Chains A and B, each alone.
Chain A
Amino acid sequence: MHFVVCAKQIPDPETPPSAFKIDPQKNEVIPAQGIAPVLSQFDSIAAEAALRLKEAAGDSKITVISMGAESAQAAIKQVLAMGADEGLLLNDPAFTKGDPHTTAKVLTAAVQKLGDVDAVFCGRQAADWDWGQTGLLMAEGLGWPSAIIAKGVALDGQQLSVERVLEDGYETAQAPLPAVVTVSNEFGEPRYPKLQQIMQAARKTVTTWTAADLGLDAAEVGEAGSRLRLEKLFIPEKEGKVELMEGDTATEKAQALVKALQGAKVL
């Protein structure tokens, strides 16, 4: 079996609010100084899901794919250290500032180029933009069945049995391979890598493919190919106001308070 894990490197979601800055002109997040980007947590859970399937199936291979800049090597190495076999970085200036659609297009092309893939595992969403679309769009592009927001995955012959999180429980779905699965945090904690694996991962070389390698036209990916436009990026301002209720007696103050609350549509 050959499994693919899609891994995205994102700005650290634990960046202290005071250190999180944006450039309103360019509609961009300014990378916080001294705060390194991290692997999206959902993707590390997707990696865990793939690793458990690999252990159950035996004689399998996991390729971890990340679309991103050179720095995304760190995210790839992290999944390699967890136990993935090969790393693949999709790095091209043309890929930047895309939307879920263009990202899925690039990743789909990579999976198609790999050829013998049996299943693709993505996080349920990337923990930075939280679109939650890339996995589904990949399934569309590949023409494969998909099961999203999984809390459990098992191989059942040539079928994939997936437990999907629902609002008030979960359902079990069967999908023929190949398939795309997006994995939710209900799946469980990702493993802590053994030191030997960390060292082996450090020694592995990660292959890089560009748009040309994937046979993609620069116009159909990245910003150029995006169908979504970001209109405005801003940090919502939080303000607290204090209004003291006027009145001579407690009753008057209470009445004023009720009126004010009704005015604010709280009551």
Chain B
Amino acid sequence: MTAETPDQQRPVRLIGAWFAPAVGASVLGFYGSFQLQEETGELIRHSFFNDVAPPAAPYLFLAALTGLLVFGFLRHATLWMVGQPTAQSVLREIPHRMRNAVRLGLAQDKVRRDRYAGIMHWCIFSSIIVLTFVTAQVAVHDDFGIEFLKGDYLNFFTFYGDLFGLVGLVGVGMALARRYFSDFHRIRWDERFEDHLIILGLGLVLLTGFIVEALRIAAEPSVFADDAGMLTLTEDAAPFAFISYPIARFIELFEMPGSQVEGAHFVSWWSHVTLSFSWLGLIVFTRLDHIFFAPINAFLLRTDSPGRLSRIPNLEEREIFGVGYIQDFSWKQLFELDACVRCGRCTEVCPANLAGQPLSPMHLIQDLKAHLADVGPAVQRVGHEGGDTRAVSPVAMVGDVIKDETLWACRTCGACVQECPVMIEHVPTIVDMRRYLVMDEARLPATAQGALENLETRGHPWRGTSLERTTWMEGLGDVPLFDGNQDYLYWVGCSGALVERNLPITKAVFKLLRESGASFGVLGQEETCNGDPARRLGNEYLYQILAEQLVMTFKEKNVQRVITNCPHCFNTFKNEYPQFDGHFEVLHHTEFLSGALRDGSLRATHPVGEDVAYHDSCYLGRINGVYDAPRQIVEMVPGANLVEMRRNMSKGLCCGAGGGNMWQEEVGERRVNHVRSEEAVRTGAQQVISNCPFCIQMFEDGVPAVQPEEEGRIRPFDIAELLERAVFGPGGGEAKEPAAAAAVSDGDRET
């Protein structure tokens, strides 16, 4: 099993493999040009063959293209500029950003997450790069009088020119196969005329390139036959033009007179040049603009954790809190809209979308993009005149363009962000609009409102709980309170303390910590919600109050290191509390426990002879990159056999509860936890193991719905519960209610 590290920490690698052929060949080209310049070879590429056009012609095209690109860029840029400054300066951490631009932009790390598309895209991309270089060398040779395309290098040059022409055609072929000869659905979710134009156009550019080359080969000997010792293509050199030479031979079969061949060459040259520049011109008008926007967006990509949402500064002094108008997004968020290539990868992995719920990240981005194009110019004009830019649009961005239920369906699981090949960050954009709904408009689902009100009045989101924060301690003997002298604070969290099903998990973690000999304490009644549900639901104000309060408590109590059993608490403490000057060393229980197993302070001796499917929670896995620790625990439990689910690690599927959806009624065809439970059932394992109280609750609820037969039903457990059995023996060393009973009663509530 190979575990992935999160993208943030991933070293720059494989770039060599990606670029070696393209860059290597071109560098060699330059090398060759200088090495061979002084030698006299009998082989040379003839400048201005056939006098197809005045030498200036291609440069006029180039100038026109450049002008068009600049015009297009400025036209886009004026729209981006209606946005606000970014929270994080894009000029900070330049080396990190450059690395992202190389790794994600040039080396296309994300594109390769779809293998087929990765190969296809590499073929096209490297072919365009190399052939641009080929063309540039011809220009230098022809127009600047530096005649280096001769001798052996000309052979080599011919070879890789042909090779990458072929590579490009393979790429185009793959693209055509996917678009026209397969039922590959996602590229057709928003198919437009330009998509056909781009791929067919590129195919024609490459084909005409070969034809021009072949006709030149076919025609040249007749032209230069008596120019002593200056044959362009000898029989020896023929194998290097391994595509165009056979085509030339094929053309010769028609025994056309020389003038006719030259005429054909003339026509195809012009077609090729016109097509090439026109195709490049598409950059301005179509999604081909990703050629530039993707690497730029990689550069602009946040350098901090994807688990961190932005902090709204000076909330008390503001009049607007969320983003309800397009101009309230940052310019970077608007820029991203233009980078979108409609590939659909985000929507394909979106848990809400998989369950038929009303969210498609791709359409969300495209709808915002269209809205920006609609109202952006007017916003800009009115802004210049000092008018009210909010009155510009006849439709409401949030509500009309983007429906409320679309925003509420988001799990903030980050799957879309993870997959996006052009590095769009959908989640912060969605949360910004939620902030508008909650704080500016007070328009939110009743259940979410209930959770937020409960957070305000009771400091936890679990409305109607009959448990206290100390209930879990019953029967555990002496539970030490954190006094500032212990090494760790064990943070139980609201879900760990106030939801019946999670109490055994909390107890298990506690017992394992105690068994490991760790020095730790708990806060008991003094715990309050750290604010995560409020922040993810869009109530940044409430979040800041709760966060500031808790940071203060932690500091007063001299908390340095925290162990959590909830990945959401983990993420909040680790990635978001530094925004409030709360810097703590944060461990998820799986990290601590796997360490304790490795150093021998915990021993898993009792066999658990079952297949266990492991479910990566989003906030531990994809967002924080902890994939290995939990798997190591399972591997160290004797007899337990780890089974991977179809979607795992960075491709793991959300349980459905993230982003505050734990407290919302789901709208749509299915429920996300049913989808994920089905995937767990399909592994054939006896247990599904996770590391998050929400995931466990969702499985407890979802499994009985998709597996009504109680006999042989897959049982959801936290990894601490599994380890508890392995360390203390069956029953965890004490009699306790089997979790299966909880599953049944939850199943009864299923409608």
| Known A16-B468, A19-B468, A38-B457: A192·B449 in contact at CB below 8 Å | yes
Does residue B598 face the partner (Cβ distance < 8 Å to A)? no
Q: Report the minimum CB–CB distance from B533 to chain A (whole Å).
A: 15
Q: Is the CB of A192 within 8 A of B442?
A: yes
Binary B-proximity of A183-204 (CB < 8 A = 1, otherwise 0): 0000001011111101100000
Binary A-proximity of B453-494 (CB < 8 A = 1, otherwise 0): 100011000011111100100000000000000000000000
| Known A12-B458, A16-B465: A189·B449 in contact at CB below 8 Å | yes
Q: Is the CB of A194 within 8 A of B467?
A: no
Q: From A12, A18, A19, A194, give the contact of B439 (CB < 8 A).
A: A194
Bound-state CA distance A192–B467 (Å) is: 26
Q: From B439, B453, B463, B471, give the contact of A195 (CB < 8 A).
A: B439
Q: Is the CB of A199 within 8 A of B458?
A: no
Bound-state CA distance A192–B438 (Å) is: 8
Contacts of B439 in A (CB 8 A): 194-195
Contacts of A158 in B (CB 8 A): none
Contacts of B465 in A (CB 8 A): 14, 16
Does residue A157 face the partner (Cβ distance < 8 Å to B)? no
Bound-state CA distance A198–B315 (Å) is: 12
Does residue B620 face the partner (Cβ distance < 8 Å to A)? no
Greatest chain A CB density within 10 A among B321, B439, B441 is at B439
Does residue A34 face the partner (Cβ distance < 8 Å to B)? yes
Bound-state CA distance A33–B526 (Å) is: 11
Q: CB-nearest residue of chain A relative to B467?
A: A16
Does residue A57 face the partner (Cβ distance < 8 Å to B)? no
Name the prevailing secondary structure of the B interface residues: helix
Does residue B728 face the partner (Cβ distance < 8 Å to A)? no
Contacts of A193 in B (CB 8 A): 442
Categorize the interface residue count of chain B.
Answer: 20 to 34
Q: Report the minimum CB–CB distance from A45 to chain B (whole Å).
A: 13
Bound-state CA distance A170–B464 (Å) is: 29
Within 8 A of B (CB), among A26-42: 33-36, 38
Q: Is the CB of A191 within 8 A of B442?
A: yes
Does residue B599 face the partner (Cβ distance < 8 Å to A)? no
Contacts of B525 in A (CB 8 A): 33-34
Contacts of B438 in A (CB 8 A): 192, 195
Does residue B70 face the partner (Cβ distance < 8 Å to A)? no
Does residue A169 face the partner (Cβ distance < 8 Å to B)? no
Q: From B449, B458, B464, give the contact of A35 (CB < 8 A).
A: B458
Greatest chain A CB density within 10 A among B442, B465, B467 is at B442
Q: Is the CB of B457 within 8 A of A18?
A: no
Binary A-proximity of B417-446 (CB < 8 A = 1, otherwise 0): 000000000000000000000111110101
Bound-state CA distance A14–B463 (Å) is: 8
Bound-state CA distance A16–B525 (Å) is: 13
Q: Is the CB of A199 within 8 A of B468?
A: no
Does residue B743 face the partner (Cβ distance < 8 Å to A)? no
Q: Is the CB of B468 within 8 A of A195?
A: no
Bound-state CA distance A226–B471 (Å) is: 40
Q: Is the CB of A195 within 8 A of B449?
A: no
Within 8 A of A (CB), among B311-326: 315-316, 319, 321
Q: CB-nearest residue of chain B relative to A195?
A: B439
Bound-state CA distance A18–B441 (Å) is: 38
Q: Is the CB of A192 within 8 A of B466?
A: no
Does residue A17 face the partner (Cβ distance < 8 Å to B)? yes
| Known A12-B458, A17-B466: A192·B440 in contact at CB below 8 Å | no
Q: Is the CB of A195 within 8 A of B440?
A: yes
Greatest chain B CB density within 10 A among A17, A19, A195 is at A195
| Known A194-B439, A194-B442: A18·B468 in contact at CB below 8 Å | yes
Contacts of A194 in B (CB 8 A): 439-442
Q: Report the minimum CB–CB distance from B543 to chain A (whole Å).
A: 12
Does residue B452 face the partner (Cβ distance < 8 Å to A)? yes
Q: Report the minimum CB–CB distance from A82 to chain B (whole Å).
A: 9
Contacts of B463 in A (CB 8 A): 14
Contacts of A33 in B (CB 8 A): 525
Q: Is the CB of A14 within 8 A of B453?
A: no
Does residue B541 face the partner (Cβ distance < 8 Å to A)? yes
Bound-state CA distance A17–B465 (Å) is: 10
Bound-state CA distance A193–B539 (Å) is: 11
Contacts of A195 in B (CB 8 A): 315, 321, 438-440, 442, 541
Q: From B321, B453, B457, B467, give the contact of A36 (CB < 8 A).
A: B457
Bound-state CA distance A196–B457 (Å) is: 19
Q: Report the minimum CB–CB distance from A40 to chain B (whole Å).
A: 12
Binary B-proximity of A134-164 (CB < 8 A = 1, otherwise 0): 0000000000000000000000000000000
Bound-state CA distance A195–B436 (Å) is: 10
On B, residues with C-beta under 8 Å from A are: 315-316, 319, 321, 438-442, 444, 446, 449, 452-453, 457-458, 463-468, 471, 525, 541
25 interchain pairs, CB-CB under 8 A: A12-B457, A14-B458, A14-B463, A14-B464, A16-B467, A16-B468, A16-B471, A18-B466, A18-B468, A18-B471, A19-B468, A33-B525, A34-B525, A35-B458, A36-B458, A189-B449, A191-B442, A192-B438, A192-B442, A194-B439, A194-B441, A195-B315, A195-B439, A195-B440, A196-B319
Q: A16-B466, A199-B316 are in contact. List 4 more A-B contacts (CB 8 A).
A: A35-B458, A38-B457, A192-B444, A195-B438
Which 4 pairs of residues, A with B, have the shortest CB-CB distance? A195-B439, A194-B442, A192-B442, A192-B449
